[in-house]
Structure 1
Amino acid sequence: MAVQHTDQRSAWPRVGGIVLLLTALLSVIMIAFAWPATRAGVHDIPLAVAGPPQATGAVVEQLNAKRAGAFDVTVVADTAAAEKLIKDREVYGAIDLSSGHPQVIIASAASPAVAQALQQIAQGLGQQPGEAPAVRDLVPLPADDPRGAGLAAGALPLVLGGIIAAGLLTNLVAGIGRRVVGALVFAITGGLALVAILQYWLGSLEGDYWTNSSVVALSISATALTLLGLEALFGVAGLGAGGAVMMLLGNPLSGLTSAPEMLPSGWGLLGQYLPPGAAGSLLRSTAFFDGGGATPHLLVLAGWAVLGLLLVGAASLRPRGRRDAGATATEGERLVAA
């Protein structure tokens, strides 16, 4: 008996549509990562100017004339007040005119890019050609990583940790409760491992190891729990959309490679409300500033973690028939994808 063979090849229009979709996706990825980097610049950087009113007024006018919109200036009375603002992470540095010998105070641990910009500003404040105020680094980066490369490179693992955890637990572990427990345990072990590498091997972090590990653990759990909740409610589509937001928005807008204020207007602020940006800023605070300025970022991460748990709880409250139907649909999507 003759055997009939069915042509399983896809139609050319379908192939063309997939190619266009892939091209659009690649373009979005390029824009997400390259646009913030190429448009980064000094604007609205918080800066303190310390000293008597006449001297500070002249410097503020000079800054506005030469670098309009570059700095958000806070005028304080003396060196101690300026240093407190830096350690509290309310400003990135200071121009100190209070001692009679002008100096520029930087904090490279807050942002090497901003510290470099402030040093360039110092070159233009001299009274005579070739003369510039002294530069003092109040909160320097570790000697083993003076450019802060380790912490900047750590942005991607922070994002991927939560995404990978949610993806693998969804596919390999049955039961939403077990997935949540798995995500929390992984967040702890992952935090301990990542900080051990950054702090003890690469020398990129200082401060208390356990506190830093807790920050990374909270970051991983915030991402993982949110994605698990989205998957529990909306299936693979929810997991994919959540992962895309964390990767394509959260990572490039985190400001870890420069500073949130150096990103295009408004986008740096948005990045601080996403787990990667909040985690990076919180880790800088605990590692180098004794927790100064940590509270807002801690609240953001805690909020995402709670949101994830609420999404999981909402999924568990759905009628069992709807949950089973969603699980069947999700399994069907996986089989089709396979």
Structure 2
Amino acid sequence: MATETADPESSESSGPLADKSPWLKIGIVVGGLAVAVSLMVLAFLAPSINSGADDLPVGISGPAQATAQLQQKFEAAQPGAFDFRNYDDAAAVAEAAHDRDVVGGISIEADGSVTITVAGGAGTPYSALLKNIGAGLETAGKKVTYTDIAPLTADDPNGSGLSALGMPLAFGGMISAVLLSTLLKNLPLYKIAGSIAGSTVVGFVVVAILQFGFGSVDGNYFLTSLSLALGVAAISLFVLGMESLLGYAGFGVGGLLMMFIANPLSGMATGWQWLPSPWGFIGQLLPIGSTGTLVRSVAFFDGHGIGMPLTVLFIWVIVGVALTIGGAAKKQRAAAASAANA
């Protein structure tokens, strides 16, 4: 007796919208499009228009009266721009910048001279801002010296290599998910294994290009590569999970989130503190932003400040794996129920 094979198109059309009117479906598409485009515009424009110093954590040290006067001066000139944090001396400010507690600092010495501490690896806007402050103090007659505790490389003094990572990171994670979902249908464990393997290769290849090809980073190659690989895996596994749960619509949801929300909110080019609140912090809860922070911390700060980005990325990985396996199990149960009712 011949068995009937389900027509893929008919099974696709048996979803929750199958019995709805065409006009309702059009309304859902139009409404969804309006929401999606609005989110994209907000995600791209709000950070770029409003970026700048806003509660920027800056270390300060020196005689109490001198530091108080300096803080009052900056608060009057740029209200709310800086979150000054007091330290004992220039060495403590440098240590705080190296630990990624502040983006740099200003230290007033006993003789009235000033030490400006910058960390190029944290993001070029912070260094430029602090150096401008130093130039202003020099104009006022102060002797100013500059210390960069995490300098960018001589081959890439503007950090262009790191700035360009956002889109390749999103694309690499998404394209691997699309290919694995297409080639390994109904094989969730193989999809997960393929995602991890592909992400690892991408991490090592991209960092090799950055480090040995362009000299954009010069830290530990192995650890920097693993950091980038973890970010690619977080994106890839999440998109795989969304496809497993929602079908092809999952690619759209994953793509919208990663390329048009996570990417512009990542602060990849500037460092996340340069973005307006709360956009910068939100970006750090998404894979691209947390990957950028992780790579900077490993490549330029000897691993300081990796706690939060590692936690965020592992959560995205776990969620992606759970969705991939859960979605596949749901499909198998639906197929078994359909076969039982046939």
TM-score by shorter chain over 0.5? yes
**Aligned position for 2:103:** 92
User: Matched residue pairs, number?
Assistant: 313
Q: 1:19 to 1:267 in 2, by over 3 A?
A: closer
Give 1:33's match in structure 2, choosing from 28, 33, 44: 44
**Aligned position for 1:9:** none
Give 1:42's match in structure 2, choosing from 53, 67, 78: 53
Structure 2 spans left out of the alignment, 5+ residues: 1-24
Task: Output the CA distance in 2 between the equivalents of 1:303 and 1:171.
Answer: 25
Aligned-partner residue type, residue 125 of structure 1 = L
Question: How many percent identity over aligned positions?
Answer: 37
Offset of residue 119 of structure 1: 1.3
**Aligned position for 2:64:** 53
Cα distance per residue 1:91-140 (max 9 Å; x no partner):
010101135321211111111011111112223334x5465623322221
Q: 1:324 to 1:135 in 2, by over 3 A?
A: farther
> Is residue 254 of structure 1 aligned with residue 299 of structure 2?
no
> Is residue 75 of structure 1 aligned with residue 75 of structure 2?
no
Give 1:145's match in structure 2, choosing from 156, 162, 167: 156
Equivalent runs, 1:240-319 vs 2, <5 Å: 240-318=252-330
**Aligned position for 1:105:** 117
**Aligned position for 1:164:** 175
Three-state SS of the structure 2 residue aligned to 1:49 is strand
Q: 1:26 to 1:315 in 2, by over 3 A?
A: closer
Q: Contact 1:41–1:263 at 8 Å: present in 2 too?
A: yes
Q: Contact 1:47–1:74 at 8 Å: present in 2 too?
A: yes
Three-state SS of the structure 1 residue aligned to 2:100 is coil
Q: Contact 1:173–1:179 at 8 Å: present in 2 too?
A: yes
Structure 1 spans left out of the alignment, 5+ residues: 1-13, 327-338
Offset of residue 325 of structure 1: 9.2
Q: 1:181 to 1:280 in 2, by over 3 A?
A: same
Q: Contact 2:114–2:142 at 8 Å: present in 1 too?
A: no
Q: 1:323 to 1:122 in 2, by over 3 A?
A: farther
Measured on the aligned residues, the alpha-carbon RMSD in Å equals 2.6
Three-state SS of the structure 1 residue aligned to 2:176 is helix
Three-state SS of the structure 1 residue aligned to 2:121 is coil
Aligned-partner residue type, residue 50 of structure 1 = S
> Is residue 223 of structure 1 aligned with residue 235 of structure 2?
yes
With the length of structure 2 as denominator, give the TM-score of the two structures: 0.84
Give 2:248's match in structure 1, choosing from 236, 246, 251: 236
**Aligned position for 1:211:** 223
